[in-house]
Homo-oligomer: A and B are copies of this chain.
Amino acid sequence: MLLEIDHHSGVPIYRQVIEQIRQQIMAGQLSEGEQLMSVRELAAQLRVNPMTISKAYALLEVEGLVERRRGVGLFAARLRKNKKAHTRARLLEEVLRKAAVTAVQLGIPEEKAREMLVRLYRKYDSKTRSHSNE
């Protein structure tokens, strides 16, 4: 498991941890049931206080993405395929909802909003593919 923290981005450390672990789980890079690095281990790697990691883990558990077992460790939750797809859809819906509200408020036609999304999707999709070959 590789995480990178940008201490100068302004984004809180615990949120960076959450986002990166969430994506690794959602993208299948972390197998279900697999044990994650311990609080202290990850804290040492990132040169950060253990409580900061513990907080990130706690919020990931609320999301249902990991299971914490005191004295044992932290494990990627075993999600049903349905659950996994559902979680993905929920995460996407959050951001798409904001976009939809904005479009409606500004009086931008559905078609134009749709085209803009597709253009942006393809832009980032191609970026991702090129990165995966590095």
Contact = CB atoms under 8 A, between A and B. Distances in A.
Contacts of A93: 116, 120
Interface SS of chain A: helix, strand, loop or mixed? helix
A123 B97 CA distance: 10
Interface string A3-42: 0000000000000000000010011000000000000000
B120 A106 contact: no
Number of chain A interface residues as a range: 35 or more
A106 B125 contact: no
Given A92-B113, A116-B92, A116-B96, A121 B103 contact: yes
Given A23-B105, A91-B102, A99-B95, A121 B116 contact: no
